[in-house]
Amino acid sequence: IFLILRIYNIYKYSFKNKKQKTFLHKKNLKLNIYKTLKNFFDLKKYIGIIILVYVHKFPHILLIRNKIKKKVFCLPGGSIYQKIEDNKLMYNILEKKLSLDSKCCKMFLNLGKWVFPEFDKRIKYPYLPPNRKSIKSELYLYILELENQTKFEVNLNWDLIAVPLFEINENIKKYGSMISKLPTILFSLLS
């Protein structure tokens, strides 16, 4: 099985900021309490989408950084409430986070799943540990192949940063345990 993944130069993409939407929360107090309890105890599913670009002839990963908390990096993606097999779901998430069109995305490839056995998001495993009976949330990783030219729009309080793979590799202190393992996963997949 051969995997051909086309990665284009970052200078062919355009980046822009968009206004953040504000939401008014004027709902019933009991309904809010029930929703909070449901969100707390239900299994949560998230999608992380890996977007590779070239900068100076070397592959980089696009990460989202919070402008307020400059040390917090994450993959583009979000929480899901439906089945993951549907590509429309991923297109909706990309449209919501990065304002990407579904026409500019070529393919999604599943790279794996990370498991959070605790409510703490810092403790995560690429498998369910044998001493755990249940999991609190799951993160599915997908790699995305883009068209040659694409336009990104990010919220005003986020930065979209292209980080080289050699800087991410095994740099747990700065990028966290999951993002720091991505170069190893990508090189084993693409080599």
* 36-84 pLDDT tens trace: 777 677 778 888 888 888 888 888 898 988 888 778 888 888 888 766 6
CA distances from 126 to 59, 67, 104, 123, 186 (A): 24, 29, 30, 11, 14
Ordered by start, the domain boundaries in the chain are: 43-190
Assign 27 a pLDDT band (cuts: 50, 70, 90): low
**By three-state DSSP, how is residue 129 classified?**
coil
Average model confidence (pLDDT) across the chain: 78
Does the pLDDT of residue 1 top 50, yes or no? no
Q: What is the pTM of this model?
A: 0.75
Does the pLDDT of residue 12 top 80, yes or no? no
Q: How far is CA 12 from the centre of its chain?
A: 22
Higher pLDDT, 163 or 29: 163
Give the Cα separation of 90 and 142 in Å (integer): 9
Assign 154 a pLDDT band (cuts: 50, 70, 90): confident
Average pLDDT of span 137-165: 84
Q: How far is CA 29 from the centre of its chain?
A: 32
Element at 88 (helix H, strand E): helix 87-98
Average pLDDT of span 142-165: 84
* 91-137 pLDDT tens trace: 788 888 887 777 777 777 788 888 887 766 667 777 787 887 778 88
Class of domain 43-190: alpha beta
Q: What does the pLDDT read at residue 164?
A: 92
Average pLDDT of span 24-47: 72
Backbone angles phi, psi at 35, to 5 degrees: -65, -40
